[in-house]
Amino acid sequence: MTYAGLDIGSRTIILVEFDGGIRDYRIVDAGTNPLQRCEGLLAGRSYRRLVATGYGRRLAEGSLADGIVSEIKAYALGARHLYPDCRTVIDVGGQDCKASRLSESGGVERFEMNDRCAAGTGAFLEAMARTLEVSVEELGAHALVAESTVRINSLCTVFAQSEVVSLVARGAHGPAIALGVHEAIATRVAGMARRVGPKERVVFAGGGALNACLRQLMSRKLGLELTVPEEPQIVGALGAALMASEE
Amino acid sequence: MTSYRPMWAELGLDLERHDVLLEALGGMYSDLFLSQKNRPKSMDYFDFVVSEIHGLRVKELQDHRAGGGKVVGLYCVFVPEDLILAADAIPVGLCAGAQFAVPDAEEVLPRNTCPLVKSSFGFKLSGTCPYIQASDFVVGETTCDGKTKMYEILAEYHPVHVMEVPQKKTPLGRQLFLEEVHGLKAKLEAETGRAITADGLAQATTLVDGKRRALQRLQALRRARPAPISGLDALLIIQIAFYDDVVRFTEKVNALCDELDERIAKGVGVASADAKRIVISGSPMAVPNWKLHQLMEASGSVVVGEESCTGTRYFNYLTPESDGSLEGQLAAIADRQLETNCACFTPNDERLDDIVTLARGWDADGVVHYDLQFCHTFANEAVKVERRLAEERIPLLRIETDYSDEDVGQLRTRIDAFLEML
């Protein structure tokens, strides 16, 4: 019996197939027509039940998906499946960042989430990477070689971008600026995480967790060890698949 | 629709933009309201009122003016409607709840201003609110700094009379507000050329209290499980209370309540009995601001009460007994208005009790605190609301938003997660 979870995010779409364990998973770009992407991704596959999560979950409701669940609950379920002692989940995604504290039994007790502003999200990192002319995948490594850092004062993506441009114009080193950018986002996300009263074990997931510099800074700022799953991006889709399997 | 065009032109509306507004509003209304399942039959009247939102009611106001009467615009629960009615003038709530006119306002006002203030001002600037056009003057109040300063600028475009609302409910504050009620009386008498009498005022107060009682009755019926009426419909009714004819409105609300009594007896509701029940508390929601209720109910919960100026703060307070003299009645009216537990007061701890009472009495699973962006009074008071509800172990979700749709995706995620958590 195979179940599936589909996480329709702003930047990526992730499919997890579940049959008691993770059978397979796929990560694709969301593109400009996410529903079409989902249809392509699901072509030729069929499941006993599929649950959708993510920003685009309602697009799939009633057509591709048998049910929907918020990312916050999906990440909680996925993280608990991977780490049964998980009490806090931090998720930095494409356009959202979220922190949730879980009860001993795994239910969401408290959560915080950014509002419409892109500060503290993957979109912020992408914009900064573009300005520094490195890929978003390389941005973390770029920052880790910095010998010094500069302070980025603005958390607003648009203002921070012009701040970075003027730092570049003043001859600041790319890696130092990149480190400053990571400092800014880590401060923001750690502040949000502190508001939920984080307890260990803390699982850091979402695309942002792929960034080694962000992992390091967040752990330092929170004074907590962060556990990053092997595939941090699939945790939400895994949680949705678990929901599907619970019928 | 076309038959009102001469009236709109006469009122100085920008007809082209007004058409765009009405079309958008009509579409939005059928999507949000008419698509709801199992609505009470008596909502027909309120649907009709909305379908004539810029038509029939405006015509009634214009007819009243043609007969020598005055129309007085207002934005806030602190302006005593009965005093206005007693001068044979008609009080009418003005347009303040749509994104439509915000860009117009932002050409003049700072962008970092609450959407309600920007929308109020923008509607005047863009010539798309027939109510302000039909009003002989506007009565403003000093309930927040944004509004206070906006009224100064609005006065350059339309006659404005501002009432000072104190920030403390002390004897001095009460004395100040009583003076302001006297000041409004003098202003009304000067504008209408009619003296406000003890009998006239007593009659008007009876009408306004009757309207409040009808709304209290409606609110009491929302205690039932399953909920006999959607939060969206209940909110709409309170919004309509600001501009509909007081006698007709009261009658229609009571008729609706009769129907709801029957529904409750039969166990009929708009949501399942186990739907999550939500109380909303915070900034006012001027028509057509239906954003939060729509999101809450589309996510499967049902809103059972609003601790809001478009909710309990509008109808909770009845006029205290007085000696019947004009002086005595004015004092009773001033006292009644100052009962309002608005975030403009310090301290305002009674509001915390109001929220808890509503949540407990209406068997709510959780409270959503609603702040309009840049509404500093309610946003800062939310800190205390959060602490109190944590003490009471009532789950709380805090939402800050404006009139635009750009954050709907994020709001849905928060709301869904909150409802899953309950």
A151 touches B at CB < 8 Å: no
Q: Look at the domain B2-196 and name its fold.
A: Rossmann fold (3.40.50)
**How far, CA to CA in Å, does B328 sit from each of A225, B163, B178, B188, B198?**
68, 20, 11, 18, 9
Kindly list the residues from chain A whose CB atom is less than 8 angstroms away from the CB atom of residue B410.
96, 113-116
d(CA B57, CA B74): 16
* Cross-chain Cβ contact B414/A113 below 8 Å: yes
Cβ pairs bridging A and B (under 8 Å): 44
Query: Could you tell me if A129 and A152 lie in one domain?
Result: yes
CB A44 within 8 A of CB A98: no
Residue range A81-109, pLDDT digits in tens: 999 999 999 999 988 899 999 999 999 99
Q: Quick check: A73 and B420 CB within 8 A?
A: yes
Up-side HSE of residue A97: CA atoms within 13 Å toward CB? 24
Task: Give pLDDT tens digits for B305-355.
Answer: 999 999 999 999 999 999 999 999 999 999 999 999 999 999 999 999 999
Which residues have a Cβ under 8 Å from the Cβ of B46 and sit 6 or more positions away?
B233, B236, B237, B240, B252
Among chain B residues, CA nearest to A107: B421
pLDDT score, position A98: 94
Eight-class DSSP state of B262? H
Q: What percent of chain B has pLDDT over 90?
A: 98
Closest chain A CA to residue B414? A113
Q: Does B414 touch chain A (CB under 8 A)?
A: yes
Per-residue pLDDT reduced to its tens digit, A16-39: 999 999 999 999 999 999 999 999
**CB contact (8 A) between residue A111 and residue B421:** yes
**ipTM rounded to 2 decimals:** 0.85
Nearest residue of A to residue B407 by CA position? A116
State both tokens at B249: 């409105």
Amino acid at residue number B379: A
Side-chain half-sphere CA neighbours of A216 within 13 A:
10
> Does one domain contain both A92 and A40?
no
What mean pLDDT value characterizes chain A? 93
**Beta carbons of A72 and B417 less than 8 Å apart:** yes
Residue owning tokens 């749509």: B98
Tokens encoding B32? 């949000």
Give yes or no for a contact between A173 and A60, defined as CB atoms under 8 angstroms apart: no
- Choosing among B416, B418, B419, which should be mutated to test the A contact, i.e. which has the most A CBs within 10 A? B416
Q: Which residues of chain B have pLDDT under 70?
A: 1-2
Write the CB contacts of A228 (distance below 8 Å, at least 6 apart in sequence).
Answer: A203, A204, A205, A209, A215
Residues in chain A within 8 Å Cβ distance of B420: 69-70, 72-73, 108
| A11 lies in the same domain as A100 | no
Cβ atoms of residues A100 and A76 within 8 Å: yes
Domain around A22: 1-83+234-247
A115 Cβ under 8 Å from any chain B Cβ: yes
Whether A108 sits inside 8 A of B409 (CB atoms) is no
> B408-421 and A71-82 are packed helices; what angle lies between their axes, rounded to 10 degrees?
60
Number of compact structural domains in chain A: 2
Rounded distance between C-alpha atoms, residue B309 and residue B357, angstroms: 16
* DSSP reduced 3-state for B162: strand
Taking the Cβ of residue A71 and every Cβ of chain B, the question of whether any pair is shorter than 8 Å is answered with: yes
> Which residue of B368, B400, B414, B419 is the best one to mutate when testing the A interface, meaning the one whose CB has the most A CBs within 10 A?
B414
CATH code: domain of residue A125: 3.30.420.40
| Calpha distance B411→B156 (Å, rounded) | 38
| Position A154 confidence tier, pLDDT thresholds 50, 70, 90 | confident
Is the same domain home to A180 and A245?
Answer: no
Tell me what pLDDT residue B2 has.
56
Residue environment code for B41-58, b if the CB has 16+ CB neighbours within 10 A, otherwise e: ebbebbbebbeebbbebb
Q: Compare CB distances from B407 to A69, A109, A115 and report the shortest one's residue.
A: A115
> Based on the domain organization, do A108 and A77 belong to the same domain?
no
Q: Are A101 and A107 in contact (CB under 8 A)?
A: no
Q: Are residues A243 and A223 in the same domain?
A: no
Find the closest chain B residue to A116 by CA distance: B407
The DSSP-derived string for B5-18 is HHHHHHTT--HHHH
The reported pTM is 0.92
Instruction: Give A46-87 pLDDT, tens digit per residue.
Output: 999 999 999 999 999 989 999 999 999 999 999 999 999 999
The string of pLDDT tens digits covering residues A206-242 is: 999 999 999 999 999 999 999 999 999 999 999 999 9
Pairing, β B396-401 against β B366-372:
parallel
A73 near B CB under 8 A? yes
Query: Which chain B positions have a beta carbon within 8 Å of A242's beta carbon?
Result: none
Measured between beta carbons, the chain B residues lying within 8 angstroms of A100 are 417
Record: contact B412-A116, CB cut-off 8 A: no
Q: Could you tell me if A69 and A91 lie in one domain?
A: no
